């Protein structure tokens, strides 16, 4: 049995365990997630973030969801990852490049644990999201999707990972737990999909709840907030700069033109650090 050092972090309530994969021989990470993502039997986290060396950027970030699958992008995770790097003196730069499965993103330190992230331009071509709800290059905007509980209108965006955005009149009573998994696992999304339920409050404010692929409902989703800002602009529901209020905090989203990158600004925090035993206790689910 050995000990694995970890740090617990969050971005607007979207919480993470961070491991340094450069200096330590880590266990099989799907098994690690199965053992420690549980909030009763483990530490509890929405995603596991792993720091790696990169041949293409300053660092590489692996992202594993709670059920043990590796995913492409996590906007809140990028901010937490950059704070982890700065707090440990691994970089003093105001801006770094981070390689992910969804591409290279550039977080920028703006002070007081606030980080702005250049998330790159949104992907709106259906095949690249991917979704079968559209063909050619035309974006999927307010398209009816048939699910077991009825019909919903979805707008589809990729921010390096796939999102389906659903606008509702009352966010508190939105059927997140029913329709979230139905949309996530719909055949129209071959890689499954993250689902955002969104209420427009004004042209400057949107309220969002997120059903995250492989996790369930989370307090926040940074890439989802970006997708929400893009979808709302496509539907002419918000301005170029909009606040997205999540259950764990508020993110600022800017998208200046169809060719522009989406800029997400929000907080990151370290909660605690410690050591985990590997292999885990026989009583820990795996």
Taking only the tens place, the pLDDT of each residue in 237-264 is 999 999 999 999 999 999 999 999 999 9
Are 40 and 150 part of one and the same domain? no
Task: State the helix-helix crossing angle for 75-87 and 222-234, rounded to 10 degrees.
Answer: 140
What is the pLDDT, as a whole number, of residue 1?
A: 87
Whether residues 91 and 206 share a domain: the answer is no
Q: How far is CA 232 from the centre of its chain?
A: 18
Per-residue pLDDT tens, the chain, 286 aa: give them. 899 999 999 999 999 999 999 977 899 999 999 999 999 999 999 999 999 999 999 999 999 999 999 999 999 999 999 999 999 999 999 999 999 999 999 999 999 999 999 999 999 999 999 999 999 999 999 999 999 999 999 999 999 999 999 999 999 999 999 999 999 999 999 999 999 999 999 999 999 999 999 999 999 999 999 999 999 999 999 999 999 999 999 999 999 999 999 999 999 999 999 999 999 977 666 5
Inside any domain, residue 284: no
The verdict on residue 283 lying in a domain is no
CATH assignment at residue 46: 3.10.310.10
From 33, 221, 226, 238, the catalytic residue: 221
- Range of the structural domain that residue 147 is part of: 126-260
One domain for residues 150 and 242: yes
141 and 248 co-located in one domain: yes
Confirm whether 285 is domain-assigned. no
161-190 pLDDT per residue, tens: 999 999 999 999 999 999 999 999 999 999
Give the CA diameter of the chain. Answer: 57
74 is catalytic: yes
Do residues 130 and 256 share a domain?
yes
Give a three-class secondary structure readout of 103-147: EEEEEEEEECCEEEEECCCCECCHHHCCCCCCCCCCCCCCEEEEE
Q: How many domains does the chain have?
A: 2
From the candidates 74, 156, 226, 238, give the one annotated as an active-site residue. 74
Instruction: Give yes or no: residues 24 and 109 share one domain.
Output: yes
**pTM listed for this prediction:** 0.94
Q: Which of 69, 57, 193, 68 shows the shortest CA–CA distance to 123? A: 193
Judgement on whether residues 188 and 274 belong to the same structural domain of the protein: no
Centroid of chain to Cα 218: 10
Q: Residues with Cβ < 8 Å from 113, sequence gap 6 or more?
A: 83, 267, 268, 269
d(C-alpha 236, C-alpha 57), whole Å:
36
Catalytic site includes residue 156: no
* 15 and 103 part of one domain: yes
């Amino acid at each position: 049995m050995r000990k694995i050092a970890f740090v617990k972090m969050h971005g607007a309530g979207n919480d993470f365990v961070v491991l340094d994969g450069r200096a330590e021989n880590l266990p099989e990470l799907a098994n690690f997630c199965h053992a420690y993502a549980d909030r009763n039997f483990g530490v509890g986290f929405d995603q596991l973030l792993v720091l790696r060396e990169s041949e293409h950027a300053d660092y590489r970030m692996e992202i594993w969801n709670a059920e043990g699958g590796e995913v492409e992008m996590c906007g809140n995770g990028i901010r937490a990852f950059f704070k982890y790097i700065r707090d440990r003196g691994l970089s003093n730069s105001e801006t770094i490049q981070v390689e992910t499965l969804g591409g290279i993103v550039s977080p920028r330190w703006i002070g007081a644990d606030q980080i702005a992230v250049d998330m790159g331009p949104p992907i709106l071509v259906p095949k690249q999201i991917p979704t079968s709800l559209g063909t050619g290059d035309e974006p999927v905007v307010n398209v009816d999707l048939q699910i077991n509980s009825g019909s919903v209108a979805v707008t589809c965006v990729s921010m390096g990972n796939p999102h389906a955005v659903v606008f509702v009149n009352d966010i508190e009573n939105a059927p997140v737990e029913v329709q979230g998994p139905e949309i996530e696992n719909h055949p129209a999304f071959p890689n499954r999909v993250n689902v955002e339920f969104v209420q427009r409050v004004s042209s400057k404010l949107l309220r969002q709840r997120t059903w995250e692929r492989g996790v369930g409902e989370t307090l926040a989703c940074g890439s989802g907030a970006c997708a929400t800002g893009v979808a709302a602009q496509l539907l002419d529901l918000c301005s170029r700069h909009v606040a997205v209020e999540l259950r764990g905090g508020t993110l600022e989203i800017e998208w200046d033109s169809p060719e522009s990158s989406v800029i997400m600004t929000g907080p990151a925090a370290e909660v605690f650090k410690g050591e985990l035993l590997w292999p885990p206790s026989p009583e820990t689910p795996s």
